[in-house]
C-alpha cells in the first residue's frame, strides 16, 4: 500500500462526502456546527477508505479534475435530496399565503429564508419525520454505498443528470401539492363563500371578517389532515431513497 496513494484516495472520498453533507437536508442547516459536519465527514470517509481500492497513476491535472468531479457529484446528491425535503416547507408557505399568515413571516437564520407560521411548523415537523423515519440513515448509507458503484476518482458529470433532476422536481411538486392542497382548497371555498356573503349583505365588512375566518378555517383543516403527514413523510423518505439510487446510476462511470 503506497502512502501517497492512500492520502489521494482519502482526499477524493472527503471531497464527495463533505460536499454532500454541505447541501444534504438536516445537516445543511447553519445551526449544525461546521466542526460536527467535518468530523462526521471524516469518520465516514475513514470507513469508506477501508473498503475501496486506492487510486493510482494520477498526475496533477488529472487529480484536480477528479477532485472537481467528486465535489460536483456530492453537491448534486445533496441538492436533489434537499429539494424533496423543502417541498413540505414550500407547501406551508402556500398555505400561509392563502390563509393570511404571510404577514407574520420571520427570518430563519439557520436556513437564510423568510418563513411564516405553518411553513416553520412544517419545517420542524419535516426534520422530526426525517429523524423518526430514519431518513438520515438513508442519506448516510446512500453516499457511503455510492463508493461501491462509483469508486473514488471515477465519478462523471453528464447530461444524464437532467432527467433525474426533472424527476426529482416532479416528485417534490407532488409532495408539495399533497401537503398544501386540502388547506388551499378549503380556504378558496371560504373566499368564494365570503364573496357571496359580501354581495348579499353589502353592509358587512367582508375584508375584516375574512381574515380571522380564513385563518381559523386553515388551522382547523390543517389539524384535521395532520395525521396524513406521517404518510407524506414516508413518501418523502421513499423519494429520497429513489433519488439517491438514480443519482448513483447516472453519476457512475
Instruction: Report residue 66's pLDDT band, with 50, 70 and 90 as the boundaries.
Output: confident
Q: What is the pLDDT of residues 70-124, one digit of tens each?
A: 888 888 888 888 888 888 888 888 887 777 776 666 665 655 666 677 777 888 8
Q: What is the mean pLDDT of residues 184-199?
A: 83
Q: Tell me what the mean pLDDT of segment 201-214 comes to.
A: 73
The whole-model pTM stands at 0.79
Number of residues assigned to the chain: 253
Interior CA angle at 39 toward 35 and 45, to 5°? 145
Q: What is the pLDDT of residues 138-186, one digit of tens each?
A: 888 888 888 888 888 777 777 777 888 888 888 888 888 888 888 888 8
Cell of 5: 496513494
Where exactly are the structural domains of the chain? 3-251
pLDDT average, residue stretch 120-144: 82
Closest alpha carbon to 66 in 9, 24, 22: 9
- Provide φ and ψ at 156, rounded to 5°: -130, 150
Amino acid at each position: 500500500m503506497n502512502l501517497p496513494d492512500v492520502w489521494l484516495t482519502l482526499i477524493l472520498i472527503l471531497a464527495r462526502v463533505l460536499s454532500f453533507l454541505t447541501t444534504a437536508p438536516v445537516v445543511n442547516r447553519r445551526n449544525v456546527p461546521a466542526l460536527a459536519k467535518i468530523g462526521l465527514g471524516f469518520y465516514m470517509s475513514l470507513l469508506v477508505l477501508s473498503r475501496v481500492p486506492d487510486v493510482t497513476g494520477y498526475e496533477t491535472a488529472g487529480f484536480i479534475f477528479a477532485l472537481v468531479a467528486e465535489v460536483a457529484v456530492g453537491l448534486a446528491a445533496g441538492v436533489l435530496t434537499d429539494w424533496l425535503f423543502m417541498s413540505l416547507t414550500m407547501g406551508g408557505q402556500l398555505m400561509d399565503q392563502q390563509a393570511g399568515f404571510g404577514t407574520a413571516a420571520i427570518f430563519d437564520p439557520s436556513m437564510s429564508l423568510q418563513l411564516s407560521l405553518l411553513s416553520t411548523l412544517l419545517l420542524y415537523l419535516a426534520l422530526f419525520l426525517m429523524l423518526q423515519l430514519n431518513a438520515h440513515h438513508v442519506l448516510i448509507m446512500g453516499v457511503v454505498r455510492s463508493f461501491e458503484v462509483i469508486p473514488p476518482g471515477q465519478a462523471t458529470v453528464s447530461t444524464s443528470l437532467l432527467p433525474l433532476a426533472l424527476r426529482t422536481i416532479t416528485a417534490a411538486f407532488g409532495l408539495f401539492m399533497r401537503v398544501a392542497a386540502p388547506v388551499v382548497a378549503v380556504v378558496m371555498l371560504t373566499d368564494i363563500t365570503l364573496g357571496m356573503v359580501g354581495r348579499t349583505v353589502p353592509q358587512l365588512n367582508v375584508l375584516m371578517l375574512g381574515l380571522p375566518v380564513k385563518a381559523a378555517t386553515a388551522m382547523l383543516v390543517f389539524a384535521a389532515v395532520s395525521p396524513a403527514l406521517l404518510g407524506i413523510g414516508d413518501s418523502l423518505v421513499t423519494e429520497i431513497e429513489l433519488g439517491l439510487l438514480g443519482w448513483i446510476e447516472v453519476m457512475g462511470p
